[in-house]
Structure 1
């Protein structure tokens, strides 16, 4: 059994379960890498697109699930500057939290969130720096490594992870990975080098990760949804049941997976223009919708996420 299989099997046994109904609606996004607003902030070019998309999902009753690497905490030592730079986004996420419509996973770049008390000082300071009187969700919400969505109708399950599990440098030796990013790559970004996202990423590495995650999903008969690679994946029924929501740091767009009416849809949000040359934030369907039932059922768990 591979290191990835062992890690994900263990994670599946203790991951909290969130039950959902046919009329439940979820939007899954990941890899925002929210930063400090400098050259190293890969989220900055898409922050308005992300806000517009998230506002749409808030208005339409979706629950937001972030599949890890929401904040860039390998390059940045604390959340203070991140919170100040993207305060509008965090206030909207806080609105989701107050309505119990927010769930957060951690990835390798924000793995320190698994220490649940770590963010409390930063989160209190954030609201001291603004005129907001409301409490931030960041020092209250539980950050999970994995989450299982389970249908109340047929018990079909979706296993949600970030996707870094089993990787030596991104998982077991994440301290070393953080050191290399913080003290080698970050200085290069600050003088103008762009992060290797999108087409600039190593396709050989991406394909290796995808192959391993796909193999796990097929071997263990699980519908697996991840982020991490930044490359969207939407299989058709009969293919390997591995999905990827992409990222929020694509050049000029963000991607995500919607769950509505017991079906999955891959979507893209970007800035478009009307014939009158007015700019607007546009939602496009890249693939789907496909019924979840078409991908088969997985195991059953009984605990619920809190």
Structure 2
């Protein structure tokens, strides 16, 4: 199946959420939560991510994760959970308030299978008292989500690997190569050249295919992840946004949608004049009215 057909199928089958003046969404992707080993790219941003998400929880945002939240290609989920228990318990608070929506990407494509979701996320083993406890009962993953206005116009959210044939069609082979070959090499500082995030030519191809679909579908506004490259177009460009990733060396990036506006932000650590360190939010682009892009 060509990428255009995969994207169209995801669009037609997308889960729908409301988009209006009162909507408050925070979009992150590509957390690649790992086991806190030297190969875990999320580990250096874990505290930043936790703090940022806690702020959005307090401010009544709905959290949408656009794929590759869990690094299942390299790790067993139990090891990921134990390394990031505080993050998962925060996600549970969003879920308990019905404000958590998850999309699967190539690195957590196992979550296409509801049985795998149930096995990993319905219960967890609490090592402090040796008991199994309820976690995120009935949580589900989608391939895509549409934030839809009353007039039918929408923002199309998906991971983006639908435009990357190797990481979609042959994801099991790609997972095998990462587990057996690239993860050991990553421990000594060698990056995986098959990843669009590490290969300039590959992410240009992926973005080009996504934008070809946007153009063929009446400039449908789209938000993706996958390439790890933040993208915030001007009103004269195709409405293709990218929320970046949570594994940048010095920050996490995401997109906020509220009051019918969209903003590209980053959360990072700054050092103050007195030598103390503080996690802060910085606006990179926007805010811009959604009406410019929808």
TM-score scaled by length of structure 2: 0.93
The question of 1:171 aligning with 2:165 is answered no
**What CA RMSD, in Å, does the superposition of the two structures yield over aligned residues?**
2.1
The question of 1:5 aligning with 2:8 is answered no
Residue 117 of structure 1 is matched in structure 2 by 115
- Alpha-carbon distance in structure 1 between the residues aligned to 2:117 and 2:128: 17
TM-score scaled by length of structure 1: 0.90
Residue 69 of structure 1 is matched in structure 2 by 68
Residue 156 of structure 2 is matched in structure 1 by 159
- Alpha-carbon distance in structure 2 between the residues aligned to 1:204 and 1:192: 21
- Alpha-carbon distance in structure 1 between the residues aligned to 2:221 and 2:197: 28
Name the CA shift for 1:40/1:265 in 2 (closer, same or farther; >3 Å). same
How many residues align structurally?
A: 292
| Structure 1 contact 197–249 (Cα < 8 Å) conserved | no
Q: Which residues of structure 2 form unaligned runs of 5+?
A: none
Q: 1:121 deviation in Å? A: 3.6
| Structure 1 contact 34–41 (Cα < 8 Å) conserved | yes
Residue 251 of structure 1, aligned match among 243, 249, 252: 249
- Alpha-carbon distance in structure 1 between the residues aligned to 2:133 and 2:97: 14
Name the CA shift for 1:142/1:119 in 2 (closer, same or farther; >3 Å). closer
| Structure 1 contact 31–69 (Cα < 8 Å) conserved | yes
- Alpha-carbon distance in structure 1 between the residues aligned to 2:73 and 2:81: 15
Name the CA shift for 1:251/1:233 in 2 (closer, same or farther; >3 Å). same
The equivalences for 1:36-75 within 5 A come to 36-75=35-74
Residue 276 of structure 2, aligned match among 267, 275, 278: 278
Could you give the per-residue CA deviations for residues 240-264 of structure 1, whole angstroms, max 9, x where no partner exists?
Answer: 1100000000011000000010111
Name the CA shift for 1:121/1:130 in 2 (closer, same or farther; >3 Å). farther
The question of 1:25 aligning with 2:32 is answered no
| Structure 1 contact 27–57 (Cα < 8 Å) conserved | yes
